[in-house]
C-alpha cells in the first residue's frame, strides 16, 4: 500500500526532496496562496507549528496559483511574503499545480485517497462552492482540490488520516493534529 513517503517533491529552490525524510512525524500538507480569503490561515498554522513541532509535527506548504490567480508571485516572493507577514517557519515547497493534467502526483494521490466531501454548512460554504464550481470546470475529473488551504493530515506511518477543506475551523484542525500526536 502506498504512503506519503513514496513521493518526492521539490523544495522552493527546485531540489528534489523525498517525503521519506519526514518519516515518523505527523504531517499537515497544505496547498496555499498569498492572495486568498483564507490566507489568514497562515497565523493559526504557524502557531500550531511553533507549539507542536517539538512533538514531531511538520507542516508542508505547497503554494498553488490555480484558484483565481491568487498566488502569481515567484517562489521566493511567496516565501518572503509568508515569512514577513505571518512569521512562517515551516517548510515551503515549490509552487505546484494541484489539479489538471499537470497536477503534482502527491496531491492527485492525496485527493484520490481522501476525496472532496463538501465545504460544510454556512455562508462561507455557499460562496466558496460557487467560485469553486466555476474554477474547477476546466479540470473535469482531475479537479482534485477544490480551493486553496485544503489540508491533509498524515499519521506517523505516512497514511492519510483526514482531509480538511478551507472552510473547516482551524481549531478543529488543531484538535485533530494534537490527537494524532
Q: Which residues lie closer than 8 Å to 121 by C-beta, 6 or more apart?
A: none
Q: What is the pLDDT of residue 124?
A: 72
Is residue 4 packed enough to be buried (19+ CB in 10 Å), middle (13-18) or exposed (0-12)?
A: buried
The catalytic position among 19, 28, 29, 36 is 36
With a threshold of 0.75, does the pTM exceed it? yes
Q: Phi and psi (nearest 5°) for 161?
A: -90, -40
Question: Domain range for residue 110?
Answer: 4-180
How many distinct structural domains can be found in the chain?
1
- Report, in angstroms and rounded to the nearest whole number, the Rg of the chain calculated over CA atoms: 15
Element (H, E) at 119: none
Looking only at the bridges linking them, the beta strands covering 57-63 and 26-32 are: parallel
Could you report the per-residue pLDDT of 32-65, keeping only the tens digit for each?
Answer: 999 998 999 999 999 999 999 999 999 999 999 9
Q: Is 36 annotated in the active site?
A: yes
Q: What's 45's domain CATH number?
A: 3.40.30.10
pLDDT at 9 over 80: yes
Amino acid at each position: 500500500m502506498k504512503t506519503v513517503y513514496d513521493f518526492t517533491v521539490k523544495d522552493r529552490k527546485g531540489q528534489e526532496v523525498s517525503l521519506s525524510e519526514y518519516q515518523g512525524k505527523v504531517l499537515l500538507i497544505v496547498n496555499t496562496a498569498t492572495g486568498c480569503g483564507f490566507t489568514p490561515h497562515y497565523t493559526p498554522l504557524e502557531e500550531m507549528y511553533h507549539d507542536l513541532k517539538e512533538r514531531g509535527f511538520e507542516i508542508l506548504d505547497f503554494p498553488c496559483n490555480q484558484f483565481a490567480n491568487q498566488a502569481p508571485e515567484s517562489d521566493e516572493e511567496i516565501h518572503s511574503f509568508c515569512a514577513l507577514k505571518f512569521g512562517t517557519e515551516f517548510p515551503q515547497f515549490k509552487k505546484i499545480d494541484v489539479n489538471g493534467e499537470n497536477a503534482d502526483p502527491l496531491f492527485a494521490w492525496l485527493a484520490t485517497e481522501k476525496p472532496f466531501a463538501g465545504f460544510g454548512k454556512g455562508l462561507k460554504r455557499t460562496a466558496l462552492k460557487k467560485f469553486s464550481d466555476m474554477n474547477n470546470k476546466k479540470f473535469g475529473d482531475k479537479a482534485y482540490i477544490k480551493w486553496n488551504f485544503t489540508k491533509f493530515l498524515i499519521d506517523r506511518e505516512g497514511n492519510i488520516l483526514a482531509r480538511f477543506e478551507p472552510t473547516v475551523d482551524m481549531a478543529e484542525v488543531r484538535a485533530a493534529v494534537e490527537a494524532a500526536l
